[in-house]
Amino acid sequence: RKEVEQDPGPFNVPEGATVAFNCTYSNSASQSFFWYRQDCRKEPKLLMSVYSSGNEDGRFTAQLNRASQYISLLIRDSKLSDSATYLCVSRALSGGYNKLIFGAGTRLAVHP
Amino acid sequence: SQTIHQWPATLVQPVGSPLSLECTVEGTSNPNLYWYRQAAGRGLQLLFYSVGIGQISSEVPQNLSASRPQDRQFILSSKKLLLSDSGFYLCAWRTSSDQETQYFGPGTRLLVL
């Protein structure tokens, strides 16, 4: 079983739509969680951290449910520029150092 | 400000040939450095990480090796490439004090034929 699992998509949505991505993690010792965005053939870039109380950054809302080991990302009022792959990431202590575990990503395509 | 460079951007190599990918970081000292590989449709796989010059930890057994000859230089090498070494190789760094955020370089796309 993968440590971080995501629906690969693609999610094809019209501009203005609300879309939600889900992610589950298997390591209950995971300490922190993040969403990264990766454009086609580019490097991943940090989108936002995910806090236990939930957090919002403009049109983006991230939620964490530690009991269910579940993370979500909600994008409201989708823009064409939101088209990308969204990577769910957990951080856990492993072998004496902090290690980031990346999901395979969920692809989003926003169309006019 | 800090920047991270990787080269080459793209590489096509025959099976059995050697490999050397370079990563350098500017604008910071004593960074933690990482090499990842991303295969098509898969998540990033951590290959090596380094907390200082000459200190390399390997995550998975493979025919790749890494070296850190200088504080801000990280090199990924192979003596003989395999077809399965094809992928997108990403170097990343973070400060030793910030446990949270890693910053990625632009990556090297490697195709082994």
Question: How far is A3 from B59, CA to CA, in rounded Å?
Answer: 15
pLDDT of B85:
93
Which among A108, A89, A102, A111 has a CA at the least distance from the CA of A40? Answer: A108
Here the tokens at position B64 are: 């790749």
Which chain B residue has the Cα nearest residue A35?
B101
Mutate to test the interface with B, among A6, A86, A100 (most CBs of B within 10 A): A100
Question: How far is A111 from A74, CA to CA, in rounded Å?
Answer: 17
Residue A73 has pLDDT above 90, yes or no: yes
Number of cross-chain residue pairs from A and B with Cβ atoms under 8 Å apart: 44
Question: How far is B106 from A43, CA to CA, in rounded Å?
Answer: 5
Residue A32 is nearest to which of B36, B100, B107, comparing CB atoms? B100
- Which amino acid would we find at residue B98? D
Judge contact between B9 and B106, C-beta under 8 A. yes
- Residues B24-62 have pLDDT tens digits of 999 988 999 999 999 877 789 999 999 999 999 988 767
The answer to whether A76 contacts chain B (CB < 8 Å) is no
For residues A92-103, average pLDDT:
82
